[in-house]
Amino acid sequence: MAENLVVKAKIKDVAKGYNVAGDLADALNVKIEQLVKDACARAEGNGRRTVMAKDL
């Protein structure tokens, strides 16, 4: 796996009032990494080298 793209402390900030399992950040990181890769593929498919929000 690549470096972490999410900050564990920020997850806890968003999930106020809930316990956060240790593996949540790792699972989110995997999903985010795939989202970014898919967005890059869409940008390339549209002839762009700039990944935009609309690629998500």
The whole-number pLDDT of residue 2 equals 63
pLDDT per residue as tens digits for the range 1-11: 568 899 999 99
| Residue 22 is assigned to a structural domain of this protein | yes
Segments forming the whole domain that contains residue 41: 8-55
Evaluate whether residue 2 is within a structural domain. Answer: no
Q: Classify residue 19: in a domain, yes or no.
A: yes
**44 inside domain:** yes
| Ramachandran quadrant class, 21 (left: phi over 0; alpha: psi -120 to 50; beta: rest) | beta
Total tally of structural domains belonging to the chain: 1
Say if 1 falls within a structural domain: no
Q: Which amino acid is at 48?
A: R
What is the model's pTM? 0.83
End-to-end CA distance of the chain: 21
Look up residue 34 and give its amino acid: Q
Q: Is the residue at 48 inside a domain? A: yes
Q: Is the dihedral of CA 10, 14, 19, 21 positive or negative?
A: negative
